[in-house]
Amino acid sequence: MLFVLLCGLIYFVAAPNIDTIVSLAKRRGFVFPSSEVYGGLGSAWDYGPLGVELCNNVKQSWWRWLVYERDDIDGVDSSIILNRLVWKYSGHEATFNDWLIDCRKCKGRFRADKIVDNKCPSCGASDWTEARPFNTMLQTKLGAVADDDPTALAYLRPETAQGIFINFLNVQTTMRRKLPFGIAQVGKSFRNEVTPGNFILRTREFEQMEMEYFVSPSAEHSKLVDYWVEQYLEWFGSLGINRENLYLYEVPKEELAHYSKRTVDIMYRYFPEREKPWEELMGIAWRTDFDLSTHSKNRLDEEGKRINPDSTEDLSYFDEPTKQRFYPHVIEPAAGVNRTVLAALMDAYSERTNDKGETRVILKLSPQLAPIKAAILPLAKNKPEIVGMAKAIKRSLQPVLRAVYDDTGGIGKLYARQDEIGTPFCITVDHQSLEDEAVTVRDRDTWEQERIKVTDLAEHLQKRLKPYPLATPPEPI
Ligand code: GAP
């Protein structure tokens, strides 16, 4: 967190803790505890009118950046429920486990890897049961079947990645792609987390933005991991996330997932108040050729036996220049929508205290993420000409950018409310506007005001709302 003293005003930059964001999120309609009318549901959250806009803006920014602005990535949207065999051969049925232990004294149940100093977090005892695996894939049943029919078992996907791998050939052939190229997907994933918590940081239902970048087995995989780390640091910068609040964690060999030869996690300072402030925002993994080969019918093990007798397809790639057939390797940047939203909110949070001791919250979201880009405010809501003009301006701006009309308070209150939800511009229509066809445009961050002709307004705002310019990506290695 940064404290800045400017012209007698104190600014707090970045939220001091997650609780500050929980309270703002509920107060202003970003995120509500789910199922509250029935006492809630642990670690489930509903996104309100502003939250859904913020999530959509994160996903749109990501999609625009990867799928539209680059030339080497296509998008897909696969099913959430896939054939159970996908999860058998991906290794999830066998290995997607958390290790559980029970405290013999208080009967509390915990993840073994989260226990500090061998002490029970509830009662402080050190009397544990043996650790046992708990598969965290969420189960469901398909069709009108008996409760104990094992053939009906299906899973809600724990990652979007597998839906990409099983569509590798479909995309490669229909889009006539040559290596290197990527496939991106954004959507819900589910994990039966043993210890969910910390607001939207760890939940059982969440959203992922994953991209699988397919490259030759002879590519420089480790350099490609570094390349994608750099690209994502740039993108997080474009979302207004301060580089000082990000930290790179080289995952040690013993912690790597079964498919990975190297993983770098980008961590965010979600807990500035704690001794250990970092938690994973996303990971960039070199998944080798594990996924495409494990889902392929032709791959043989060391004894010459098919590793996958159930697959009907071979997901190998024929490389025209070298006349070789192989299973491409994969570099995977895997990010969470919810964790990106939380990081963006924490970084955007600021407080301004004036010399009278009054504190105002200003959410300095990057304009591309702001749920509302412009609020149109009439200075006198009892004057029909002013109200009519303000509503007409709202309607004329709406096709170009997200705008709202608001007359539910005095102008000071309306400004404060828009500052708190991160609206970059307030447009005030006053008596003079009726004469000179001009309005006042107030900037959220500087509170400076400019008089702009109504006919120039859309262009003026669009220019100032331009997304953070991301450099043209260098060619991957
Ligand atoms: N395909 C690889 C994969 O799923 P992961 O590190 O398990 O890797 C990627 O997940 C990202 O998904 C995480 O960095 C995080 O942002 C998000 N994520 C994972 N589990 C989550 C949970 N329970 N709640 C919220 N986000 C989660």
What separation in Å is there between the alpha carbon of 52 and the centre of ligand 1?
A: 20
Q: Check residue 358 and give its pLDDT.
A: 85
Q: Check residue 145 and give its pLDDT.
A: 78
SS3 2: strand
First vs last Cα of the chain: how many Å apart? 36
Q: Which atom of ligand 1 is nearest to the CA of 207?
A: 26
Which of the residue ranges 71-80, 182-191, 272-281, 461-470 would you say has the lowest mean pLDDT? 461-470
What separation in Å is there between the alpha carbon of 282 and the centre of ligand 1?
A: 7
Compute the distance between CA of residue 239 and CA of residue 367 in angstroms, rounded to an integer. Answer: 9
What separation in Å is there between the alpha carbon of 251 and the centre of ligand 1?
A: 15
Whether the per-residue pLDDT at 10 is higher than 60: the answer is: no
Whether the per-residue pLDDT at 3 is higher than 90: the answer is: no
What separation in Å is there between the alpha carbon of 335 and the centre of ligand 1?
A: 7
Whether the per-residue pLDDT at 32 is higher than 50: the answer is: yes
pLDDT digits (tens, 9 = 90+) for 395-442: 999 999 999 999 999 999 999 999 999 999 999 999 999 999 999 999
Mutate to test the pocket of ligand 1, among 208, 263, 270 (most ligand atoms within 8 A of CB): 208
Assess contact for 225 and 262: CB atoms under 8 A: yes
Q: Check residue 12 and give its pLDDT.
A: 55
Mutate to test the pocket of ligand 1, among 280, 286, 331 (most ligand atoms within 8 A of CB): 280
Q: β-pairing, 349-353 with 9-13?
A: antiparallel
Q: Check residue 11 and give its pLDDT.
A: 55
SS3 231: helix
Assess contact for 403 and 397: CB atoms under 8 A: yes
DSSP state of 300: B
State the average pLDDT over residues 162-175.
98
Compute the distance between CA of residue 199 and CA of residue 141 in angstroms, rounded to an integer. Answer: 29
Selection from 215, 213, 153 nearest residue 179 by Cα = 215
| CB distance 98 to ligand 1 below 6 Å | no
pLDDT digits (tens, 9 = 90+) for 192-216: 998 899 999 999 999 999 999 999 9
Q: List Cα–Cα distances, 376 to 381, 400, 424, 454, in angstroms.
A: 12, 14, 12, 12
Q: Which atom of ligand 1 is nearest to the CA of 200?
A: 25
Whether the per-residue pLDDT at 8 is higher than 50: the answer is: no
What separation in Å is there between the alpha carbon of 312 and the centre of ligand 1?
A: 30
Two tokens at 397? Answer: 């701006």
Whether the per-residue pLDDT at 469 is higher than 70: the answer is: no
∠ CA 393-396-397, rounded to 5°: 85
Selection from 416, 409, 411 nearest residue 361 by Cα = 416
Residue 24 is which amino acid?
L
